[in-house]
Structure 1
């Protein structure tokens, strides 16, 4: 049986979600800091595209992931709702929406991994 990369991809996404959650938490923590600019991370689809995942991977390094490649970016003006008089661009409502998205993506990620794990266990038990 060849390597199964679904678990690697799920692990990479969980790491990305963790970095994004930390970034959102930082935004919320600095909501009253004058001049603070809200940040977000690069979308996972862009991070995943850089992995160059193919059907026939020959090395575990093909899915390399380092936290330095998922750096917080400044939120573009088109993504920000408003800037208060102090120059702070954090919108608590927008950050809470992002936190909800992270929660849903994490739940989906863990649900897929659990289902795949059960399927894998079922296939190995039936082969005995």
Structure 2
């Protein structure tokens, strides 16, 4: 099993979050475009399933999974809402909720990387 580099994993998630943020921004920008369909990308856990990261459980009951290479497929969402007056499926409220999730995920990603960086720096001090 290859070692998991936390910083590579964090960078992969940051790239995924950037792609998702871009898709959300496109949805908001096209909120009044007639016939526009909401776009989103696949969840990060599915991206991880295709990446080289393989989780191993240390005890029974812990989660495990595995996979191969990551890519971010943008796909049109199934319309959850009735077609709006502009004949599209963009609900701005939903898009703003998604944007908030992306922001919180970026903040968590950054905090984890900072904590691990600090830990590594402390462990290498002589």
Separation of aligned partners in 2, 1:95 and 1:101: 10
Separation of aligned partners in 2, 1:25 and 1:31: 10
Q: Does 1:29 align with 2:23?
A: no
Residue 83 of structure 1 and its aligned partner are, at CA, apart by 1.8
What's the counterpart of residue 6 of structure 2? 6
Decide whether the 8 Å contact of 1:40 with 1:74 is kept in 2: yes
**1:23-57 deviations in Å (ceiling 9; x for gaps):** 000000000000000000000000011113137xx
Q: Tell me: CA distance 1:3–1:53, structure 2 relative to 1, closer, same or farther (3 Å).
A: closer
Separation of aligned partners in 2, 1:87 and 1:106: 33
TM-score where L is the length of structure 1: 0.81
What's the counterpart of residue 74 of structure 1? 76
More helix by share: 1
Within 5 Å, give how 1:1-128 maps onto structure 2.
5-54=5-54, 65=70, 69-77=71-79, 80-125=80-125, 128=126
- Aligned length in residues: 115
Separation of aligned partners in 2, 1:4 and 1:53: 7
Structure 2's unaligned 5+ residue stretches are: 56-66
Residue 64 of structure 1 and its aligned partner are, at CA, apart by 5.0
| CA RMSD, Structure 1 to Structure 2 (Å) | 2.1
TM-score where L is the length of structure 2: 0.82
Residue 63 of structure 1 and its aligned partner are, at CA, apart by 7.4
